[in-house]
Structure 1
Amino acid sequence: MIKSMTGFGRATSQGEKRSFDVEIKTVNHRYLDINIRLPKSLLSLEENIRKLISEKLKRGKVDLFITQNILQKEDLEAKFNKKLADSYVRCLEEIRGTYSVRDDISVSLIAKFPDVISLEYKEEDLEEIWNCLKKPLEKALELLVEMRKREGNKLKEDIISRCQNIKDMVDAVAQRAPQIPIEYKEKLQNRLKDLMDEHSIDEGRLAMEVAIFADKACIDEEIVRLNSHIEQLKVTLDLEESVGRKLDFIVQEMNREANTIGSKANDLEICNFVLNMKSEIEKIREQIQNVE
Structure 2
Amino acid sequence: MVKSMTGFGQSKLDSEDINLGVEVKTLNSKFLDSIIKLPREFSDKELDVKNILTDRLIRGKVSVAITFLRKDVSAVKMDINRKLFNEYYQNLLAVAKEAKAPEQDVFKLAIQMPEVVLQRDAEEDLSEDWNVLLKHIHTAIDQCDDFRVKEGGGLQKKLLSYIENIGAFLTSIDEQDPQRIQAVRERLNQKITELQHVEKIDNNRFEQELIYYIEKLDINEEKVRLKSHLDYFVEVMNNPVSQGKKLGFISQEIGREINTIGSKANDAVIQRFVVGMKEELEKIKEQLLNIL
Give the TM-score range, shorter chain: 0.7 to 0.9
Matches within 5 A, 1:246-257: 246-257=246-257
Indicate the SS of the match to 2:72: coil
CA distance in 2, matches of 1:22, 1:47: 16
Counterpart contact for 1:181–1:214, Cα < 8 Å: no
CA distance in 1, matches of 2:178, 2:214: 9
CA 1:208–1:77 in structure 2 vs 1: closer, same or farther (change >3 Å)? closer
Unaligned runs of 5+ in 2: 80-118, 198-202
Relative to the length of structure 1, the TM-score reads 0.77
CA distance in 1, matches of 2:66, 2:215: 65
Runs of 4+ in 1 over 4 A off after TM superposition: 190-197, 203-211
CA distance in 2, matches of 1:123, 1:133: 19
Relative to the length of structure 2, the TM-score reads 0.77
Question: Higher Cα Rg: structure 1 or 2?
Answer: 1
- 1:43 counterpart letter in structure 2: S
Residue aligning to 1:86: none
Counterpart contact for 1:9–1:141, Cα < 8 Å: yes
Identity %: 37
Indicate the SS of the match to 1:9: strand
User: Once structures 1 and 2 are overlaid, which stretch shifts more, 57-66 or 205-214?
Assistant: 205-214
Unaligned runs of 5+ in 1: 80-118, 198-202
Residue 4 (str. 1) matches residue 4 (str. 2): yes
Deviation at 1:246, TM superposition (A): 0.4
CA 1:181–1:150 in structure 2 vs 1: closer, same or farther (change >3 Å)? same
Counterpart contact for 1:181–1:213, Cα < 8 Å: no
- 2:254 counterpart letter in structure 1: M
Deviation at 1:193, TM superposition (A): 6.2
Deviation at 1:185, TM superposition (A): 2.4
Counterpart contact for 1:38–1:66, Cα < 8 Å: yes
Residue aligning to 1:53: 53
Indicate the SS of the match to 1:19: strand
Deviation at 1:52, TM superposition (A): 2.5
Deviation at 1:209, TM superposition (A): 6.5
Residue aligning to 1:37: 37
Counterpart contact for 1:75–1:121, Cα < 8 Å: yes
Indicate the SS of the match to 2:283: helix
Partner deviation per Cα, 1:211-238 (whole Å, 9 max, x = no partner): 4432111111111111111111101112
- 2:51 counterpart letter in structure 1: K
- 1:263 counterpart letter in structure 2: S
CA distance in 2, matches of 1:205, 1:33: 61
Residue aligning to 1:153: 153
Counterpart contact for 1:170–1:223, Cα < 8 Å: yes
CA distance in 2, matches of 1:68, 1:78: 17
Counterpart contact for 1:160–1:234, Cα < 8 Å: yes
Deviation at 1:255, TM superposition (A): 0.6
CA distance in 1, matches of 2:124, 2:54: 26
